[in-house]
Amino acid sequence: MLYPIATDSRVVLDLSGIWNFMLEDDNQEVDVNQPLPTTDSMAVPASFNDQSVASEVRRHTGYVWYEKEFTVAKALRNERLVLRFGSATHEAWVYLNGELLVHHKGGFTPFEAEMNDLLTEGTNRLTVRLSNILDYTTLPVGNYTEKKDEDGNLVRNVDENFDFFNYAGLHRPVRIYSTPFDRIEDIVIVPEVDLDNKKADVKFSVKTGGEFDEVRVTILDEDGKEVAQAAGQETSATIDNVNLWQPLDAYLYTAKVEGIKNGETVDVYNEPFGVRKVEVKEGKFLFNGEPFYFKGFGKHEDTFVRGRGLDEAYNVLDLNLMKDMGANSLRTSHYPYSEEMMRLCDREGIVVIDETPAVGLMASFNFDLSMLEKGAVDDGTWDKMDTTEAHEQVIRELIDRDKNHASVVMWSIANEPASYSKGAYEYFKPLFDLARELDPQNRPLTFVNIMLAKPKADLCADLVDVIALNRYYGWYVNTGDLDEGEKGTREELLEWQEKYPEKPMMYTEYGADTVAGMHSMYHEPFSEEYQEDYYRMNSKVFDEIPNFIGEQLWNFADFQTKFGIMRVQGNKKGIFTRAREPKRVVRYLSERWNSIPHLGYKK
């Protein structure tokens, strides 16, 4: 799927702004042929939850409605017009002038539909019914229940099976874009790099709709100069003296793809891409032939007021804070991030582990670590979960969306599933096979291993190229005792290294809740001093393990979660506050990360 851009043959209209909004009342049917009976306003893109002062809006579970009127200029109505949602969380029914145009389930990937047949002259009315319900068929997974109140009204509830707030709404831009009816529909780019001779053979596969006499691909460098050209829907071109895309040193070429008919360009699309080579070999993650060390974060799309909604100013600030610290990577925990963020990471040289929204794949979500010393168990997870269809769908949609991004170096199939529970391998094996089949660039695969699934309990590590671990020795285990935490950290990492000497391993989460401004002479948990000591302890062990290739801490910034006695105003594991103010540990991590090279470390 191509990102909507304006070119010589395409126009993009943005429907961001103020929409009408209302909660659905089960006792009042909505007539989509009439304007919504509401005067309430809601900004798009953004979550709806934090824009209202009404608690029934913030905590609403069920269905909501959005509506906006728009007009399409006469000059565009002879073009093919497409309505495109960057995302709608979590399920959407889209009506244009009272007619159902498109339905999509899955809250973090784009969807679109041609709209010409339903357009009218003058004002058009776009109406969206949205559901934020999560259950054992959806990703993420939620524990869904419903009951009747004393008046007989249906009361729905989602108890999130994950540790972040179930923000919902039209989180990403809603756009209309035009194309000619003979158009370029998709572009697949696969660079194959010859590092010794400093050149790249770039393969292109162009999908079209309608008919062209010729498809032409021109490769432009960052100065806009032509460096290669080829013709055909399945073709390739060679870049000599190639500029490689490197961590924090991005170089982006542009593939200018033209559909030509009767000697004239009918449609043109410009797709940026980077040339780089990633592979896993002998316990290392190689980036352009050199060992790469991941330094960075798990984070969330989470800001004040907008919730999970797109905020490009925060995106720019977050990456600038990362780069200043010497960080080079992030994981899109725990769902695909916005296309705007992915394009920004391409531009800024931030390396990305791209994750599906498969979080909560366990029979219960809690902090009971009593299974740590047990082998594989059968807790019923894989009998209860009915998520295979959703999982397959999101793998297809994620790879289709992000296949050309140079920043994406690895796919994460899930976060913290019950990989210790019998049936896990049988669930995940087909999903890993599907991802390997779909990715044209054959990137490495992983899933993020929960702390319950130590080497003798985990059933799925054979499927991954990189072992990704979430571990909290010194916090959820050995709370406050960093000596024991260090011992547990070292013992488990050595156990993984012995069992899988050919696989690199990394931490994709480790952290300690820390209240900004809390200090302690005794380095008590929740103090800024304890957070720094915690990270120093982990760093010491990381440096001892030969195949340990990266540290992505949890979390970049404090973030909102559901209510619970474990959380006060959300999760406080951020090394920045939710407002992006630094905690004490930022200074230490900046010194550490800026002293570790991105490439060539731990040769």
Collapse the DSSP code of 483 into the 3-class scheme (helix H, G, I; strand E, B; otherwise coil) and give the result: helix
CA distance 318 to 305: 17
Residue 149 vs residues 59, 134, 152, 153, 159: alpha-carbon distances, Å: 16, 21, 5, 5, 18
Instruction: Convert 443-465 to b/e letters by CB count within 10 Å (16 or more is b).
Output: bbbbbbbbbbbbbebbbbbebbb
Angle, to 10 degrees, between the axis of helix 312-325 and the axis of helix 339-348?
30
Residue 256 neighbours by CB distance under 10 Å: 19
Q: What are phi and psi of 501, to 5 degrees?
A: -65, -20
- Looking from the CA of 31 toward its CB, the CA atoms found within 13 Å total 4
Helix or strand holding residue 158 (H, E): strand 154-160
- Looking from the CA of 53 toward its CB, the CA atoms found within 13 Å total 0
Closest CA to 46 of 10, 82, 89: 89
Rg, the chain, Cα only: 25
- Looking from the CA of 178 toward its CB, the CA atoms found within 13 Å total 17
Q: Which of 112, 160, 397, 416 is catalytic?
A: 416
CA distance 28 to 210: 44
Q: Which of 397, 486, 492, 509 is catalytic?
A: 509
CA distance 94 to 209: 24
Sheet-wide strand order for 284-287: 278-281, 284-287, 290-291
Closest CA to 399 of 442, 429, 358: 442
| Residue-by-residue DSSP string for 487-498 | HHHHHHHHHHHH
- Known active-site residue 312: no
Structure tokens at 460: 């799925």
Specify the pairing of strand 294-298 against strand 548-554: parallel
Specify the pairing of strand 264-273 against strand 12-14: unpaired
- Tracing tokens 């906006």 back to the chain, one arrives at 68
Strand partners, 554: 298
Residue 52 neighbours by CB distance under 10 Å: 16
Burial (Cβ within 10 Å: 0-12, 13-18, ≥19) of residue 110 = buried
- Known active-site residue 114: no
Specify the pairing of strand 351-355 against strand 329-331: parallel
Q: Do 250 and 177 contact (CB within 8 A), yes or no? A: no
Q: Tell me the residue type at 60.
A: H
Where would I find the H helices in 251-376? 312-325, 339-348
Indicate which residues carry an active-site annotation: 416, 509
